[in-house]
Structure 1
């Protein structure tokens, strides 16, 4: 095939801008004028409204030299054309484009699950807080146990209520080797006597020592068979009529520097002997074998009290 103008058989073969090139001008291409076509002579203008072309059918051709009705003046709206997005079911606009959350590539995979990571972080923090709380509570419990297990370890002189075991339980459970005594087994001097007029005594038969509220009154306990010398704790159970009392404590003839405190712990009503039972204690140093313990009402003591039991426990090491 030699170069030259072989004509254009279809509109797709026309070069609408042929008039801009030298070879196009040589072949007779002309710029558009009026409402007609442009390009090479004999070019076909087959303008039709959008959507009217039927595939498989022959498109009508315009007679040579005739110009079909144009779609409108250049620059003005064309009645045969509208943007696809204006038709129902037309092209999807930018605002209608599907959105994708995160992720790269064409596979549509989502990005990292930040919500799951946040929940996991919160769970870890909660677990740490719970662990710290449990540890703190456990530590406080250990402190409380230590404080409660060593109640009265300091050499104070008294305690409230019946917090200590009775003489019989002390002698029979865990302290069988340490002596205990009831009121009836004490040696009474200075006008003291036994009675059982009001209830509450833990001694056998509900017996207690009375007439103690006078100077010179005393009770003496001979402690026999102590296997080891050392520091012990002497417990004395007493009853008072709702007011404080005290007495002198002597060990092997030597008086303690502090009186035996028989305080009205719990502030029981005055005059109510049955509710006035308390327990007090004092540290004593005893010899191996036999020892003598005295509780006496001497000058300066307040002795309005009755005595129930006395027993020993191992003192501070």
Structure 2
């Protein structure tokens, strides 16, 4: 290529921006026409909001044209009033995406956006409250009935013995045993064994005529009582009225042929001096088990026993008592 003007095929003619330079303008370079500013056939597609629905074919967009070089561009359309579409705003669906508006849940439907089943929760809560109220009402009704029973009895609690109390007989036992008159026997009615004998020399005996059984202080001597009329099987208290002076005494108790307990205690509870039997009268007791009807009770002097006592009377009481 030679220096100088080589005609219309000069580089500045090929340069789309040659019209910007002084030498290009001197050579007749002109700004391009027929399109957007600076680039031929450039377009700007702008669509107003709401003009196109998702999934539909897009209508032709307006082309915002700009003026020639040195001329002010066309003033874009101003935003319309509130709620009107703006021509300069390109809706998101213009780019092919799905609509961005929030979907409203269909009433009664089960799709996305459905809230919690508040109706079911409310029904469950009401059912629980109703069950609690019914339970309280039943409890209060039962309490009122119990209170009424106590009021009809004068407001006093029952004094009936419990199962554990009735298992142990007492002086206040109820039934036939309490009302029945249990047998009592004096010395004269007792069966004597060995060399035991009746006497009345010592004062203080409760038996009729002051009679008592003496001479029991030898092995093999005894008194026996055949008891009739025991109302029922159970525990009874056997009392003995006797006199002991000085040292405590003890003998063997036999009920229906079997030894009961270790020894029948005949202590000197009156604290009488040795030999002073007139001041030594007292009583003792034991709690044997008797059968209904007839029973045989014996007090005897056996090996190892201390039998220096005067015995004048035996009697029974129902249950385990001390007086």
Q: Taking structure 1 as the reference length, what is the TM-score of the superposition?
A: 0.44
Larger radius of gyration, structure 1 or 2? Answer: 2
Q: Taking structure 2 as the reference length, what is the TM-score of the superposition?
A: 0.43
